[in-house]
A = this chain, B = another copy of it.
Amino acid sequence: MPQTPHVEQHFTAGEAVRDVVIGMSDGLTVPFALAAGLSGAVAVSHVVVTAGLAEVAAGSIAMGLGGYLAARSDADHYASERRREEREIRDVPDREVAEVVELLQNYGVSAEASAPVIDALKARPSAWADFMMRFELGLEAPDPARALRSALTIAGAYIAGGLIPLLPYMILHDVGAALPWSIGMTGLALTAFGYVKGMFTGAHPLRSAVQTTVIGGLAAAAAFGIARAIG
């Protein structure tokens, strides 16, 4: 049996996958829980659909724009920190040298052993700034096109997820008849989503499926209890 045990395959979830997960986790959970909660308080499915679609609109825009600004803010933060590193390297190189020495000492590398590395960095200030960004600050250069893509992916995933629990309320006029269908369809969708998410993020798919479904159920149960108590 052929084996390739030494191929290094570090998993990093793609940013698109992460954005779909962000949007769909909330999209499948909150509109479903809101609809189930309102089912405990009102009898007309029309109100549930209105509230549900209003929530999907509000949630997708809030999360999408939130994702846009988060990505933009990451990019701004990276740019401002890099300017600061460039300035420090130009104005106080001795202090930056001391920082490199200290950083490498944390990994058991002596000051003498670091000296050739420092000479090489000194010869290329721009590479030195990149080195500090990655090694001192743990920051990576962000992709400039990410913000818009991220916003659309999150919002689209939220809408796709949010429409599933609302479909039965759109078709059936009786809330009592729609609720079990909404629970069943959303339960299936949460389980499938959790399973696929687990495959992408490296978690156990089954554990991920159970966790995702339980979160949706807990959120819905709490919303249901509150709406029934005051409804």
Interface residues of A (CB under 8 A from B): 6, 8, 10-12, 25-26, 29-30, 32-34, 37-38, 41-42, 47, 49-51, 53-55, 57-59, 61-63, 65-66, 69, 73, 76-77, 80-81, 84, 88, 91-92, 95, 104, 106-110, 112-117, 119-121, 123-124, 127-128, 130-131, 134-135, 137-138, 140, 201-203, 211, 215-216, 218-220, 222-227, 230-231
Contacts and interface: CB of A to CB of B under 8 A. Distances in A.
A80 B69 CA distance: 31
Nearest to A214: B65
Given A65-B215, A109-B116, A115-B116, 13 more contacts: A6-B95, A10-B81, A26-B66, A34-B58, A37-B50, A38-B50, A41-B54, A58-B222, A62-B219, A76-B202, A107-B120, A108-B124, A112-B116
A8 to B, nearest CB: 6
A120 B127 contact: no
B201 A73 contact: yes
Quick one: which of A12, A62, A218 has the most chain B CB within 10 A?
Answer: A62
B84 A10 contact: yes
A113 B135 CA distance: 18
Shortest beta-carbon contacts, A-B, top 5: A33-B58, A37-B54, A113-B116, A58-B223, A29-B62
